[in-house]
Amino acid sequence: MRIVLADLRGTGGFVHKDTIVGGYGARLRPFSGVTWLMYALKKRLNDVPSVQMATLAAILAREGHEVLWTRDRLFDGDVALVLSSLVDHRNETRWARAARARGLRVGFVGLAASKLPFLFADSADFVIDGEPEEAVARLARGEALEGICRSHEIADLDSLPFPRWDLVGVQAARRTGKHVWTRPIGGFPVLASRSCPEFCTYCPHRILSTYRARSVASIVEELGLLCESAPEPFVIFRDPLFTQDRERCLQLCDAIVAAGLRVAFECETRLDRLDDYLLARLHAAGCRTIDFGVESVSPEALRRVGRRPIAEDHQRRVIETCERLGIRTVAFYVLGLPTDTWSTVAATIDYSIDLGSTLAQFKMLTPYPATPLWKQLGPLVYETDWERFDGFTPTFRHPSLSAEELRFLLAAAYARFYLRPSFYARYWGAPDGWLRRLAGRLDPAAFDLHAWREAARMSRPVAC
């Protein structure tokens, strides 16, 4: 068969799909000066290819099928598989209807199609419910999928073929007499595990399947093949909790070093799963960026949404160690938790600056379908356009804050974190000396300017 894999380019803002928000995806529509800059940088640097589609390409090619890949173009063929999202589902179903009009049978894969099949069913011949590999393997063996098709999770992740990046848009170039892959924008995503063992009520990462991890040998073999095909690749481990098993993580670091793999990588984890020794080993293996959730400065607010708080002194110690080693840190924050007030959000913004991470990402609490938080806040959800469940848009009636206040506080968080002299001194690598001290002394003037602008717009400043 000729099978088309469609990872469609998002419309309206910067759309990030695949494993982002568990697969629901996110869309950044700029809403302030800082977010306009973020939007431009993300489009240029963070348009990461789909590891899910690359794995499906490998399964289909293994069975001898011709695989085509597209981000917008329509092809003739037998079957099309479309990567679904919540934030861009209208564009995806529009493409699916056009493909069906050309005679292709069309199916949807991904978290959005699994949890909200009614958004896709009228535009498709089948919708795959669950992690898609098992059902796509049946399709590859000749089974005609129809309607809602349950796909069982693969217990042994090592049994899956490695992603075929050459089949999903990663180009080859001739260097020193051989063809090698050019590095895709953002890097190569790798899944060393799936799902998440934590119990945060707002997180979609754990609602599709159970937590499973690949063996160290399998991960190192995949990294080795990447290094052969794309010298010195940048790898993005897309696991929500990369260092869940400390000993396994240490073994992986040792195996990367022992194999002589020249790889740089980024990973996401919890700060309480890190210590000085593990960080040193991660850095030696190639770790250059660590993402982690702080979410809120309030331990009680975190407990109310099922997230285990992490001691402040440990957070600071980890970030200081990362800076000393040369590992960039990216802290995530969620504004508008159910117990939040103007003052608690302001305190979280203040903490994000004082904590000292290299970068920070602020999002708005969003009750995503099928999460425990959805069951809790469902009666308060007023937004009926699923594409607006994008992480940056108010979607439910907050007990203490209006939608306008939430949008204002989100913009203020980005302005206060990024528009201050000490951020640029730190980000551009100024040595820890007079220049950093000077930048720090200039910060109060920047905050006074922010307060003046905030009061002019909302009659009150964000008190930090």
Strands 26-28 and 14-16: antiparallel
The runs of H, that is alpha helices, within 356-433 are 372-377, 403-418, 421-427
Q: List, in order, residues 6 or more apart from 156 with CB less than 8 Å away.
A: none
15: number of Cβ within 10 Å: 24
Cα 194 to Cα 347: distance, rounded to the nearest angstrom: 34
Show the tokens assigned to 115: 């949890």
Cα 199 to Cα 86: distance, rounded to the nearest angstrom: 22
Cα 86 to Cα 92: distance, rounded to the nearest angstrom: 10
pLDDT of residue 179: 62
pLDDT of residue 431: 76
Q: Is 462 helix (H, G, I), strand (E, B) or coil?
A: coil
- Alpha-carbon dihedral of residues 177, 54, 170, 17, nearest 10 degrees? -160
Residue 441: Cβ-neighbour burial (10 angstroms; 0-12, 13-18, 19+): exposed
pLDDT of residue 45: 83
pLDDT of residue 441: 87
Give per-10-residue mean pLDDT for the chain (464 aa): 96 92 96 93 88 98 97 96 98 98 98 98 98 98 97 97 94 63 85 96 95 98 95 95 98 98 97 98 98 97 97 98 96 98 97 96 98 96 97 97 97 96 84 80 90 89 79
Q: List, in order, residues 6 or more apart from 183 with CB less than 8 Å away.
A: 230, 233, 234
CB 267 within 8 A of CB 242: yes
The runs of H, that is alpha helices, within 332-420 are 342-355, 372-377, 403-418
Angle at 174 between CA 169 and CA 177, to 5 degrees: 145
Domains, the chain, in order of start with CATH, read: 2-150 (3.40.50.280), 158-377 (3.20.20.70)
DSSP letter at 49 equals: P
Single-letter residue type at 36: W
51, 98, 176, 257, 265 from 327: Cα distances, Å:
24, 46, 32, 17, 10
pLDDT of residue 360: 97
pLDDT of residue 169: 86
